Amino acid sequence: MDNEHTANAEKKIDNNANISVQESDFDKEGWKPKLESEIVDYFIRDMEQDIIKLGQSKGKFGGGKRSIWKQTQKKTKEGNKPKFSTMVVIGNRNGYVGLGRGKAKETVPAREKAIRDAKLNVISVKRGCGSWECGCREGHSIPFKVLGKCGSVKVELMPAPKGSGLVVEDECKRLLRLAGIKDIYSKTFGQIGTKVNLAQACFNALKELSKTKIREEDIKKLGII
Ligand SMILES: [Zn+2]
């Protein structure tokens, strides 16, 4: 009986080995839902990561300096129980980007959770040149204007001509840089001091780029990649 079992197991492994997956097979729609962060590790190599500063450091003289950990506390009989949360951006600077958040009782596990979450949330970003001042048909900006929301925060991203740089709030820059966007104009509305919502709204705006349906002729016209 045991022998049969092992034989079956070996057969299964053989079957798996025959399935060949290629890097080009990876797409947001095709791999939905992703349940293991290792899948993303396999398909997208040379990923870089960056941490969004969403908290405040404590201290004298006003404190309030931005820090990468958002620290909260729960009051208990034993004393205060601190908890840390952080937000991580990952991307390959060439069209793939992900944003994730992690919480834990200590700092390092919180970051690990955030990285894992970011990998599961990877999306492909459509780039192009939608600026009437430029019209170079290269993928240095975005093809059209998009709006992303989270809480009270709204982020509007607009195409910009070559050389303008990222004209956007600093924490959003980290996200756009890793997505591979070089030039952008923006407008923000609402409580943008809440960096958690700001980063998420910016990410949602990038998601909107893939959701919008585009005509064949516009793909050439705007140089969408
Ligand atoms: Zn251009």
Cα 134 to ligand 1 centroid, rounded to whole Å = 4
Cα 208 to ligand 1 centroid, rounded to whole Å = 20
Cα 29 to ligand 1 centroid, rounded to whole Å = 28
Cα 164 to ligand 1 centroid, rounded to whole Å = 10
Count of the separate structural domains present in the chain = 2
Predicted pLDDT at 13: 45
Cα 186 to ligand 1 centroid, rounded to whole Å = 16
Task: Find all residues with CB under 8 Å of 24, minimum gap 6, and list them.
Answer: none
For residue 192 the two structure tokens come to: 């943008």
What are the φ/ψ torsions at residue 153 (nearest 5 degrees)?
-85, 135
- Rounded to 10 degrees, what is the CA torsion of 148, 102, 41, 98? 10
Same domain, 145 and 177: yes
d(C-alpha 55, C-alpha 167), whole Å? 23
Predicted pLDDT at 26: 60
Give domain status of residue 3, yes or no: no
Give domain status of residue 171, yes or no: yes
Q: Where are the beta strands (DSSP E) in the chain?
A: 48-52, 55-56, 66-67, 70-75, 80-91, 96-104, 123-124, 146-150, 153-159, 184-189
Structural domain of residue 111, as residue ranges? 41-123
Cα 142 to ligand 1 centroid, rounded to whole Å = 9
Digit-by-digit pLDDT tens for the chain (225 residues) are 445 554 444 444 444 444 455 555 565 454 456 678 888 888 888 889 999 998 888 777 776 788 899 999 999 999 999 999 999 999 999 889 999 999 999 999 999 999 999 998 888 898 999 888 887 888 899 999 999 999 999 999 999 999 999 999 999 999 999 999 999 999 999 999 899 999 999 999 999 988 888 888 888 888 787
The answer to whether the predicted template modeling score (pTM) of the entire model surpasses 0.85 is no
Give domain status of residue 170, yes or no: yes
